[in-house]
Structure 1
Amino acid sequence: MSDVTVLHNPKCSTSRAAIETLDATGAQAEVRQYLKEPLDEAALRDLIGKLEDEPTDLVRRDSFFKEQGLTDADVATVDQIVAVLVEHPRLMQRPVIVKGEAAIIGRPKDRVAAFLAG
């Protein structure tokens, strides 16, 4: 079992680039398609606890976010972030790379190789 997990959306070019980076480095990783297997509240809280980025950065601010009537004020706290992502998993940034007890959002793409090497 690998100590690297990628929360992946195969439709996302940045997420696919993260998988390519993993393959190029020879790193073994568990790839979890989080839209098919959404994270529950406990898993999201665990992820946020490991995240090197600001927790609110885990939420995508795309057209779907706006369609739901959400604003930055709706994802300002960990509780709010977890509630939004449990209800709308597609709003989670991708890819997210978890290595041991640390995690990053794999944007921009070059962060992934540096994170894996560290």
Structure 2
Amino acid sequence: MKMITIYHNPRCSKSRQTLGLIEEKGRKFVVKEYLKNPPTKSELEQVIDLLAIKPEQLVRKGEPEFKENFKGKDLTDAEWIEAMIKYPKLIERPIVIDGDNAVLGRPPENVLKLL
């Protein structure tokens, strides 16, 4: 069995619930607290590719950083990626990766597709 990776924010209830589901299934995992150690551009591009979404779809639009800096702006994919690198709070959470598959844990039950 491969190691699961979870991009996690311990202050987020959905992230904690998703991590709990992984633990319940007995899967080995590694936690990446992306607010403490933001992903690199390459890592974020890989995550977006695995999720098969556009970068803007990974942006949390309710965050103050979004409202203050990006609301109403039309950014390119590359600019959205740079925004998430500069402001990691903008990255939707949790993201769970198992090999070549990834899901957003919103709702947490989405992770069951990987388990």
Q: TM-score, normalised by structure 1?
A: 0.86
Q: Could you tell me whether the CA contact under 8 Å between 1:2 and 1:30 is conserved in 2?
A: no
The alpha carbon displacement at 1:53 in A equals 4.2
The aligned residue for residue 114 of structure 2 is 116
* Alignment match, 1:27: 27
Residues 27, 89 of structure 1: alpha-carbon distance in 2 compared, 3 angstrom cutoff: same
Check the 8 A contact 1:59/1:93 in 2, yes or no: yes
> Which aligned pairs between 1:73-92 and structure 2 lie closer than 5 A?
73-74=74-75, 77-92=76-91
Deviation (angstroms), 1:2: 4.6
Q: Following superposition of structure 1 onto structure 2, how do residues 1-118 of structure 1 map, counting pairs within 5 Å?
A: 2-64=2-64, 65-71=66-72, 73-74=74-75, 77-113=76-112, 115-117=113-115
Q: Quote the sequence identity (%).
A: 32
- Is contact 1:3-1:99 (8 Å) kept? yes
Structure 2 CA distance for partners of 1:71 and 1:108, relative to 1, 3 Å:
farther
| Structure 1 residue matching 2:114: 3-state secondary structure | helix
The number of residues matched between the two structures is: 114
Task: Name structure 2 gaps, 5 residues minimum.
Answer: none
* Distance in 2, Cα, partners of 1:72 & 1:80: 11
Between the aligned partners of 1:87 and 1:17, the Cα distance in structure 2 is 27
Maintained 8 Å contact 1:53/1:104: no
Equivalent residue of 1:73, what SS?
Answer: coil
State the secondary structure of the residue aligned to 1:57.
helix
**What is the RMSD computed on CA atoms of the aligned residues?**
1.8
Question: AA paired with 1:68?
Answer: N
Q: Which runs of 5+ in 1 are unaligned?
A: none
